[in-house]
Amino acid sequence: MEQWQQTLMKIAMAVQRRHRVLMVSDFFYPNFGGVENHLYYLSQCLLELGHKVVVMTHAYGTRTGVRYMTGGLKVYYVPWKPFLMQNTLPTIYGTFPIVRTILIREKISVVHGHQAFSTLCHEALMHARIMGYKVVFTDHSLYGFADVGSIHMNKVLQFTLSDVNQAICVSHTSKENTVLRSGLPPEKVFMIPNAVDAAMFKPAETRLSREEIVIVVISRLVYRKGADLLVEVIPEVCRLYPNVRFIIGGDGPKRVRLEEMREKNSLQDRVEMLGAVPHVQVRSVLIRGHIFLNSSLTEAFCIAILEAACCGLLTVSTRVGGVPEVLPEDIIVLAEPVPNDMVQAIGKAIRLLPKIDPQVMHDRMKSLYSWHDVARRTELVYDCALSCSDENLLVRLSRYFACGVWAGKLFCLVMTLDYLLWHLLELWQPSKDIEEVPDIASESLHEEMPWSVETEAI
């Protein structure tokens, strides 16, 4: 009886839904990372608040079609294969038919794109705006202004954000970076941080002995994450502190350099290399250590140090990007991204260890960062986006035209052709002929039903 009462409550909540959100990104489960976790947890909390949430991403191997996840989260794995770093091949107009079908079929009111590197995100936001939908963009990373890749990406971002309704950044540093790169008015950009699932990251039940100090590193072993910095820091720390041992989790092109460093300095018994660590096993690695070391050279927020602090580890991190905004000063030791400063910071952290209570730190993180709070703040951004007045195409094209002498004209041409393609699609398959998903859809009740829900083919 109680089970059916909960089902009826979900039905009542579904009827009162205020927002119908399409989350779009190339980065989602089964891939793991900061953007993927953000998308998943935000979607789950928005569902609990009574909104309809649908995720659109590209196919991962054999995972294609429509799938349902925990809480009835509906995911469209569109039949596009990644070609570089989990990104789909840019087609500009190739994704329009399927994006249009999903928007109409799911009766979407807000399209929320994630990550500037995501090709699918840029294309979906462009098509949604030409169709008159409200769009929100979340930037999860920091980018420079001088190298070729950053210059190219910044121009693409300027194009995408020219006509966006609202934008979200995960730190104040990230907000400043995004405003400078895209030319977006600061009043359109909200700062909403990431969060951590405190239930998944609990401290060890028994406190570790301090006779041997264990420093944990969990990161992709690439240049941007400071793997080259670790190669210089680890041998010096091992020389200065005979009771220190390292556990390194992660994989990447720089793993070879770390293994060479371990062999060269005969540190096989003091540096443990775990390789790639599945996200579900991150906690079991973290609770083996006393200190978490983050050597990133650029970070917009860094969820990894949140997870480590939630497990009760004292954090040593480079002072880059939005990292200084994440944790209180008494549970993080910051250093400049140079070897000598990092070694001194680790020494300071070792001296501070007796003052650290893992359970107290966990309780603080639980109160400071909550996905439910992130969802409520994002809900307000959606309200602001929907309150934006509608404008005709000429007014919106003027924003693209202001993006540069040559780029502005090119952007206007791209959007004009997109507008014509939209009307051609309307002639080919009118909106009224696309079947809409009922308001009380199976995804909202999937968890409660005794039968299994079959996946649909796109």
**321: burial class by Cβ within 10 Å (0-12, 13-18, 19+)?**
buried
Could you tell me the domains of the chain?
Answer: 2-195+374-445 (3.40.50.2000), 213-368 (3.40.50.2000)
Peptide bond into 339 cis (omega under 30): no
- Other Cβ atoms less than 10 A from the Cβ of 250: the count is 21
Write down the H helix ranges in 106-147: 119-130
Task: Read off the pLDDT of residues 322-367 as tens digits, 9 standing for 90 and up.
Answer: 899 999 888 999 999 999 999 999 999 999 999 989 999 999 998 8
pLDDT bucket at 311, cuts 50 / 70 / 90: very high
The yes-or-no verdict on residue 9 having pLDDT over 90 is: no
- Other Cβ atoms less than 10 A from the Cβ of 312: the count is 27
Q: Report CA-CA distances (Å) from 121 to 12, 23, 27, 33.
A: 32, 9, 10, 17
Q: Are 31 and 38 in contact (CB under 8 A)?
A: no
Q: Are 144 and 150 in contact (CB under 8 A)?
A: yes
Task: Read off the pLDDT of residues 57-91 as tens digits, 9 standing for 90 and up.
Answer: 999 988 899 999 988 899 999 998 888 778 888 88
Closest C-alpha to 194, from 74, 280, 81, 306 = 306
The region, left, alpha or beta by phi > 0 then psi within -120 to 50, assigned to residue 60 is beta
The yes-or-no verdict on residue 441 having pLDDT over 60 is: no
Determine the pLDDT at residue 444: 44
> Average pLDDT, stretch 146-157?
80
Closest C-alpha to 355, from 383, 387, 333 = 333
CA 313, CA 318: separation in Å to the nearest integer?
A: 16
> Average pLDDT, stretch 95-119?
94
The yes-or-no verdict on residue 4 having pLDDT over 90 is: no
